[in-house]
């Protein structure tokens, strides 16, 4: 401990101000006043009283400093007293040092974000947005799409029927038909929407889910256009090094049909790059001539391609979500990670 009176005063000043700042009420402040400025025991008062024992040449400067500290501490005591008396002061029970409550910030659901991003990429490639009814007929959902009603997909085991031949659409493909009937080619559309199936709710299935349909119909549209457009989409969505591949498949409404897979390049936190496995992103194909003629267009003149994809699956891949149900349960602690 120093005995240099200036250093003693500096320490006393700091201690007194700290004690004043943390005093909870008027009694606490009075105790601080007595401890530092009290006539008999006050530690600052003691320095003033001890001036006489200092060498005469030091007395004026130390006396001046002691009076300055006394003034500062007195002012701080008054200020804190006033603050404690204010209606919203600490004595009122309101703790002004508590951090404020942030207002809630809303955000788009992660699946909605995926739909928007996918749609915006196709919009930039010249596609328009289309929609169709969620309750549709067997004709639009199956027959017009070259799917006979004895096809397993049309079975009541798989499809939710409303009345007679009216059902909840089991895919967004009926929007293809309705668009071809309504608008003359060239057609380039994206149709996101809800679809319904008689599925058990589990980690990878829900009875209602989003699909995004794509359709291109024009004169002279070939498989090259199909492959190039989907490749461009994949590179814009997943990055320029993304590869795509087409695996032969079967859908009644396309010929040939394909399942499209992507292989992405991911960059690890340490900067190294790694290829992912092939991931299936959609069903697709060249539109079957029967579908084109069912829509009243001439399949000799028009050709096209189409796809259907699940944005929830794409959002799961993107964010590393392994249970589809988290997208439906809407726990805010989960959803808030996607607010941006």
* β-pair partners for 214: 190, 307
| Burial class of residue 315, CB neighbours in 10 A (0-12, 13-18, 19+) | buried
User: Applying CB under 6 A, which of residues 146, 147, 242, 254 lies at the interface with ligand DAH?
Assistant: 254
The reply to whether 308 sits near ligand DAH by the rule CB under 6 A is yes
Q: Phi and psi dihedrals of 248, rounded to 5?
A: -55, 140
- The Cα 249–Cα 58 span in angstroms is 99
The reply to whether 144 sits near ligand DAH by the rule CB under 6 A is no
- The Cα 313–Cα 159 span in angstroms is 21
Nearer Cβ to ligand DAH (29/190): 190
Structure tokens given for 55: 């060498």
User: Applying CB under 6 A, which of residues 212, 213, 252, 303 lies at the interface with ligand DAH?
Assistant: 213
Stretch binding ligand DAH (CB under 6 A), from 9-17, 70-78, 103-111, 280-288: 280-288
Nearer Cβ to ligand DAH (49/245): 245
The reply to whether 252 sits near ligand DAH by the rule CB under 6 A is no
The reply to whether 192 sits near ligand DAH by the rule CB under 6 A is no
In angstroms, give the least distance from the CB of 122 to ligand DAH. 14
Stretch binding ligand DAH (CB under 6 A), from 39-47, 198-206, 240-248, 306-314: 306-314
CB-based contacts of 317, cutoff 8 Å, min separation 6: 279
User: Applying CB under 6 A, which of residues 16, 20, 262, 284 lies at the interface with ligand DAH?
Assistant: 284
The reply to whether 36 sits near ligand DAH by the rule CB under 6 A is no
The reply to whether 285 sits near ligand DAH by the rule CB under 6 A is yes
The reply to whether 283 sits near ligand DAH by the rule CB under 6 A is yes
CA distances from 317 to 167, 175, 276 (A): 30, 26, 11
Going across the sheet that includes 166-168, the strands are: 135-137, 166-168, 161-163
| Burial class of residue 293, CB neighbours in 10 A (0-12, 13-18, 19+) | middle
Structure tokens given for 96: 């002004």
The reply to whether 171 sits near ligand DAH by the rule CB under 6 A is yes
User: Applying CB under 6 A, which of residues 251, 291, 303, 316 lies at the interface with ligand DAH?
Assistant: 251
The reply to whether 306 sits near ligand DAH by the rule CB under 6 A is yes
- List of residues contacting ligand DAH (CB under 6 A): 171, 173, 213, 251, 254, 283-285, 306-308
């Amino acid at each position: 401990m120093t005995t240099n009176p200036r250093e003693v005063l500096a320490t006393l000043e700091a201690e007194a101000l700290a004690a004043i700042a943390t005093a909870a009420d008027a009694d606490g402040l009075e105790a601080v006043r007595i401890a530092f400025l009290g006539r008999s025991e006050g530690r600052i008062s003691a320095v003033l009283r001890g001036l006489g024992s200092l060498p005469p040449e030091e007395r004026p400067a130390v006396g001046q400093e002691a009076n300055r500290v006394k003034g500062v501490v007195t002012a701080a005591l008054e200020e804190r007293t006033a603050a404690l008396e204010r209606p919203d002061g600490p004595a009122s029970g309101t703790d002004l040092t508590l951090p404020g409550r942030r207002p809630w910030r809303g955000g788009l659901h992660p699946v909605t974000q995926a739909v928007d991003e996918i749609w915006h990429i196709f919009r930039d490639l010249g596609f328009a947005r289309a929609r169709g009814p969620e309750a549709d007929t067997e004709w639009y959902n199956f027959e017009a799409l070259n799917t006979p009603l004895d096809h397993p997909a049309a079975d009541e085991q798989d499809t939710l029927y409303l009345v007679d031949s009216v059902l909840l659409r089991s895919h967004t493909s009926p929007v293809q038909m309705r668009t071809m009937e309504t608008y003359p080619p060239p057609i380039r559309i994206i149709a996101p929407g809800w679809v319904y199936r008689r599925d058990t709710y589990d980690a990878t299935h829900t009875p209602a889910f989003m699909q995004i349909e794509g359709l291109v119909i024009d004169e002279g549209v070939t498989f090259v256009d199909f492959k190039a457009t989907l490749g461009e989409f994949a590179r814009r969505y997943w990055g320029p090094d993304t590869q795509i591949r087409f695996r032969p498949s079967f859908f009644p409404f396309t010929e040939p049909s394909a399942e499209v897979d992507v292989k992405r390049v991911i960059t690890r936190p340490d900067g190294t790059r790694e290829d992912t496995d092939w991931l299936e992103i959609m069903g697709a194909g060249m539109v079957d001539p029967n579908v084109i003629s069912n829509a009243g267009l001439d399949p000799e003149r028009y050709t096209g391609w189409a796809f259907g994809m699940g944005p929830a699956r794409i959002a799961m891949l993107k964010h590393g979500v392994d249970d589809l149900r988290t997208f439906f349960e809407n726990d805010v602690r989960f959803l808030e990670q996607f607010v941006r």
